[in-house]
Amino acid sequence: MSTFETKNFGVVSCPSDALIQFPSGLPGFEECREFVALQFADSKPLIFLQSLEDPALCFITLPVLAIEPAYRLQLDAETLALVGFPRDRQPRIGAEALCLAIVSLEETGPTANLLAPVVVNVANLKAAQAVSADSGYSHQHALLAQETAVCS
């Protein structure tokens, strides 16, 4: 069992075999390669990707299927190889891959990055942020419907 300090959650313990490895880091955070996925009953379905190298670095994520039930994962050959998936087919979300959208807070409301999800191979816990430029998904998918003013 590994114990580590976090800025937002205090001291957290997790099994050593539950650590997620990002062989190339995350864009903008290439030096941070070890994370743990934290989920709490009172904030489901949110999953917090907590860095083990930087106690202040934590990404708020949601499973892509919670946002878009028909989500189509499209990984390029380089990403498939990086995280250890067979190159001849796309991994199945849930069975083979944990697929998470990073959540951002914008002035217009929260958004999720469906264009570049974090993909974790559940068999070996290797992960990458997979940019799929031709997928048709947005990096700012609105999570709340826009409210419209109604005048009477």
In this prediction the pTM is 0.89
Domain that holds residue 55: 2-142
Tokens representing 102?
């990073």
Q: Check which CATH number belongs to the domain holding 63 and give it.
A: 2.30.290.10
Is residue 101 in a domain? yes
Domain count, the chain: 1
Is residue 151 in a domain? no
Phi first, then psi: what are they for 63, rounded to 5°? -60, 135
Is residue 45 in a domain? yes
Structure confidence by residue, pLDDT tens digits, 37-87: 999 999 999 999 999 999 999 999 999 999 999 999 999 999 999 999 999
Residues 6+ apart with CB under 8 A from 40: 46, 48
Buried/exposed code over 23-50 (b: 16+ C-beta within 10 A; e: otherwise):
eebbeebeebbebbbbeeeeeeebbbbb
Structure confidence by residue, pLDDT tens digits, 86-120: 999 999 999 999 999 999 988 888 999 999 999 99
